[in-house]
């Protein structure tokens, strides 16, 4: 009987031990981490973002097969407009760079004609004055009455000399006036030339401003043309999708997805 109790006790102890071990194993399994597999993006697709002027710049469509180097987009219309604008600007720039007509200086006058006329007129006057001075010494009578009676011919000759003296004096005055007028004309020419010089400098400044403006516009067009390069396919494949991402007043943004697997 006592042996039976001992066996029963061992049996209960074994059951308790088994239950304890089983309970511990259950807890360990419940707290073990679960590994989640992340799917990597497929390497068989290639996406290209494009900037278009209009939809016709896009040279491919969905389902189309393309090879390496095929054109995907080419902004032909805008490029043609910019090239035409560039030609006009280059022509205008060439015209604007043409040198202005040279401004001739006012020649320095010598007044040779006027001075020669004045010299001759003065010489004639001096000669007549000398004759008059010498003629007074030839009169025998000092009394004017006797001179008029007895030396009437000399008196007449003296009167002729006086008249010639007056004419010679007038000629001298005319020669002086001609010289003064020539000098005045030269001063007038100098003044007009100074105005022309000022206008010429202003014209040169405007020309340079025009050249700078045209050159700036031309540089801008060149920069825009450089940005309008054609987009070529880097792979062989099939156009999987064409998607419009956005649009504004000047451009359209599109996205082209290329399926490379279909090109193999």
At residue 199, does pLDDT exceed 50?
yes
Length in residues, the chain: 264
Q: Domain 45-98+228-263: give its CATH architecture.
A: Beta Barrel (2.40)
**In whole angstroms, what is the distance from residue 66 CA to residue 256 CA?**
12
Count CA atoms within 13 Å of residue 140 on its CB side.
6
Q: Note the pLDDT of residue 63.
A: 92
Residue 19 has a pLDDT of 41
- Average pLDDT score over residue span 248-259: 91
Cα dist. 80→84, 144, 220, 221, 255 in Å? Answer: 6, 109, 15, 12, 24
Average pLDDT over residues 29-42: 34
pTM, 2 dp: 0.56
The whole-number pLDDT of residue 136 equals 63
Per-residue pLDDT at 24 exceeds 90: no
- Please tell me the predicted confidence (pLDDT) of residue 250: 83
pLDDT at 36: 31
Q: What is the mean pLDDT of the chain?
A: 80
Grade residue 3 by pLDDT with cuts at 50, 70 and 90: very low
Q: Where are the domains of the chain?
A: 45-98+228-263, 112-227
Query: What pLDDT does 153 receive?
Result: 67
The pLDDT of 207-224, averaged and rounded, is 95
Alpha helices in 46-151 (DSSP H): 76-96, 112-136, 144-150
Give the pLDDT band (50/70/90) at residue 33. Answer: very low
Tens of pLDDT, residue by residue over 9-22, are 444 444 444 444 34
Say if CB 50 and CB 256 are below 8 A apart. yes
How far apart (Å, rounded) are the C-alpha atoms in residues 127 and 181?
26
pLDDT in tens, 151-192: 566 667 778 889 999 999 999 999 999 999 999 999 999 999
Higher pLDDT, 83 or 41: 83
Give the strand pairing for 65-66 and 252-259. Answer: unpaired
The structure tokens 């004759």 sit at 131
Residue 139, pLDDT score: 52
**φ, ψ for residue 33 (rounded to 5)?**
-70, 145
Amino acid 29: pLDDT: 33
Q: What are the tens digits of pLDDT across the range 71-124?
A: 999 888 888 999 999 999 999 999 999 998 888 898 888 899 999 999 999 999
pLDDT reading at 137 higher than 80: no
Predicted confidence band at 27 (pLDDT cuts at 50, 70, 90)?
very low
């Amino acid at each position: 009987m006592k042996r039976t109790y001992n066996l029963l006790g061992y049996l209960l102890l074994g059951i308790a031990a088994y239950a304890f071990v089983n309970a511990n194993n259950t807890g360990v399994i419940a707290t073990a981490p679960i590994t989640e597999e992340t799917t990597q993006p497929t390497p068989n697709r290639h996406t290209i973002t494009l900037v278009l002027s209009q939809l016709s710049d896009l040279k491919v469509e969905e389902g189309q097969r393309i090879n390496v180097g095929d054109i995907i987009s080419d902004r032909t219309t805008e490029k043609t407009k910019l090239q035409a604008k560039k030609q006009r600007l280059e022509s205008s720039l060439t015209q604007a760079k043409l040198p202005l007509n040279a401004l001739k200086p006012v020649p320095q006058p010598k007044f040779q004609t006027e001075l020669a006329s004045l010299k001759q007129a003065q010489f004639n006057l001096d000669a007549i004055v000398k004759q008059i001075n010498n003629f007074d010494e030839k009169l025998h009578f000092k009394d004017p009455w006797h001179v008029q009676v007895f030396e009437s011919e000399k008196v007449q000759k003296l009167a002729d000399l006086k008249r010639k003296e007056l004419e010679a004096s007038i000629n001298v005055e005319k020669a002086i006036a001609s010289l003064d007028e020539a000098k005045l004309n030269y001063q007038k020419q100098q003044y007009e030339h100074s105005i022309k010089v000022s206008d010429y400098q202003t014209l040169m400044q405007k020309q340079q401003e025009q050249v700078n403006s045209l050159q700036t516009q031309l540089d801008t067009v060149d920069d825009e043309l450089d940005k309008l390069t054609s987009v070529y396919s880097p792979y062989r494949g099939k156009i999987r999708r064409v998607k419009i991402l956005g649009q504004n007043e000047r451009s359209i943004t599109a996205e082209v997805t290329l399926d490379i697997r279909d090109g193999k």
